[in-house]
Amino acid sequence: MAAVLAVIPGLGHFYLGHYRKAAAFMGGFILLQFFDFDLDLTVVGALIGVPLELGGLGLWLFSIFDAYRIAKLTNQSA
């Protein structure tokens, strides 16, 4: 359930009770996407062919993976 909720960055962590981590993921995603602090086309990115939205996509995927990992560890210890 946490991984499904983490499709919206930070929501899965909020569900698990990790409020600081949820705020960090939400804040980071907002900075990257809405304020365009992402790894948009830079000189290096243009030379090596880095996709335009690599930073936001990476953070989004890591948020899902991390929420799943935390939920799995929590369920194993319970």
For the stretch 53-64, pLDDT in tens is 566 777 888 899
Are 43 and 5 in contact, with CB atoms under 8 Å apart?
Answer: no
Who wins on pLDDT, 48 or 4? 4
CA–CA separation, 21 vs 11, rounded Å?
A: 10
For the stretch 22-71, pLDDT in tens is 999 998 888 777 766 655 555 656 666 655 556 677 788 889 999 999 99
**pTM score, two decimals?**
0.74
Residue 21 pLDDT: 93
Determine which helix (DSSP H) or strand (DSSP E) holds 12, and give its type and residue range: helix 11-16
